[in-house]
Amino acid sequence: MQGWWNVMFQPKTDLALEAREIHREQSREEVLGVSVDKQEVGDVLITRVEVLNENGANTMGKPIGKYITLESGSLRKADADFKDEMSKLLAKELKAIVPKKEKIKALVVGLGNRDVTPDSLGPKVVSKIFVTRHLFKLYNKEKDIDVIEMSAVSPGVMGTTGLEISEVVKGIVDNSKPDIVIAVDALASRKVERINSTIQISTTGIVPGSGIGNERRALDKTNLGVSVIAIGVPTVVDAATLTSDTIEMVIEAFSKQTKVGSQFYNMLRELEKEDKYELIKEVLEPYSANIIVTPKGVDEIITNLSQIIANGINIAMHPGIDLKDVNRYIH
């Protein structure tokens, strides 16, 4: 029974850098088959994790591919200048992993429920994408020096449409024939500090609903037949993870107030993860273990994040569009 609760309360995360952190905490070893590079640009920490082989993929629980995260606490209260800087950084990282192809066609898919604020990131991003496919069709154009053929869709969620998201997107891909799909969705993090302060880009696609444990069929190259880049932001944390983090902070606070080497100090430091999970079990068992938490002020945060991501996509994909264009014409 103890083992069941350990599995139940393993920290849940959609972020590759956190999957690596979990492995290092549990095994005290680096992950073989995974490379990591970190770079600080002003107030932003960029971490590039690449899963190189099957060993890395199996250990991390993430497919082979590239995962780039941009972290900054300023994302939660981003002013205009910071949003511009983040948009440019996101565009640069995105452009580096987009397949190099002349006359590339792209489809942006905004995953999530527009009526639930923490899950509305994808639909809000789609509303700010500079779509051009209809213009290419209207004027019978094959190429433009300033823009690419870009389309966007927000397919909703299965609970409101009755349709499997991957089936909807596959149908659109088969008919519109893009060269690349860019999927945007809300994610889950294992750490409260990364909620709404981290953007992850990956080359491996995405599993709709994975952030809240309601996984659907993956949107990836295997299922869609084209390359899929996923962009996501952790907007929620499950209650078990939040409780575990809180216990860690309480232990740390008590430890600072307790004499080093005392019996109470040693007891706090030796509290095993199993004991903490057992405490979590006792607290949450009368209610539900599947409680999802999001910070207050999430409406404004999601609006700002959607603007940053949409601007980054527009700048990265359209050759003739820069920051002044998206701020002036795209809302």
Q: What are phi and psi of 220, to 5 degrees?
A: -145, 180
Higher pLDDT, 175 or 275: 175
Position 145 pLDDT exceeds 80? yes
* Structure letter (DSSP) for residue 30: P
Question: Is 180 inside a domain boundary?
Answer: yes
Bridging pattern class, strands 180-188 and 105-110:
parallel
Question: Is 221 inside a domain boundary?
Answer: yes
Please state, rounded to an integer, the average pLDDT across all residues of the chain: 84
Question: Is 251 inside a domain boundary?
Answer: no
Count of structural domains, the chain = 1
How far apart CA 320 and CA 202 sit, in angstroms, is: 24
| Mean predicted confidence (pLDDT) in 278-296 | 63
Kindly report, residue by residue over 177-195, the tens digit of the pLDDT: 999 999 999 998 888 889 8
Q: Residue 283: which pLDDT band, with cuts at 50, 70 and 90?
A: low
Question: Is 275 inside a domain boundary?
Answer: no
Report the percentage of the chain scoring pLDDT > 70: 78
* Structure letter (DSSP) for residue 121: H
CA 293 to chain CA centroid, Å, is 16
Report the percentage of the chain scoring pLDDT > 90: 54
Residue 297 has a pLDDT of 77
Between the CA of residue 262 and those of 131, 252, 254, 276, 326, what are the distances in Å?
65, 15, 12, 21, 60
Q: Which of 324, 308, 307, 316 is nearest to 85 (CA)?
A: 308
How far apart CA 185 and CA 116 sit, in angstroms, is: 13
Position 1 pLDDT exceeds 50? no
Cβ-contact 238, 12 below 8 angstroms: yes
Question: Is 276 inside a domain boundary?
Answer: no
How far apart CA 180 and CA 158 sit, in angstroms, is: 23
Question: Is 285 inside a domain boundary?
Answer: no
Position 301 pLDDT exceeds 70? yes
Residue 282 has a pLDDT of 66
**Domain encompassing residue 77:** 2-234+297-329
Question: Is 115 inside a domain boundary?
Answer: yes
How far apart CA 201 and CA 227 sit, in angstroms, is: 13
Kindly report, residue by residue over 203-257, the tens digit of the pLDDT: 999 987 654 455 568 999 999 999 999 999 999 877 767 776 777 777 677 667 6
Residue 188 has a pLDDT of 85
Residue 280 has a pLDDT of 65
Residue 272 has a pLDDT of 54
* Per-residue tokens: 294: 């999001």
Residue 5 has a pLDDT of 33
Position 4 pLDDT exceeds 70? no
Lowest mean pLDDT among 31-35, 37-41, 102-106, 253-257: 253-257
Question: Which DSSP string corresponds to 164-186?
Answer: -HHHHHHHHHHHH--SEEEEEEE
Question: Is 178 inside a domain boundary?
Answer: yes
Lowest mean pLDDT among 251-255, 279-283, 286-290, 303-307: 286-290
Q: Which CATH number goes with the domain that contains 202?
A: 3.40.50.1450
Name residue 305's amino acid.
Answer: L
Between the CA of residue 97 and those of 48, 182, 204, 317, what are the distances in Å?
12, 11, 11, 11
Higher pLDDT, 289 or 84: 84
* Per-residue tokens: 54: 């099957």
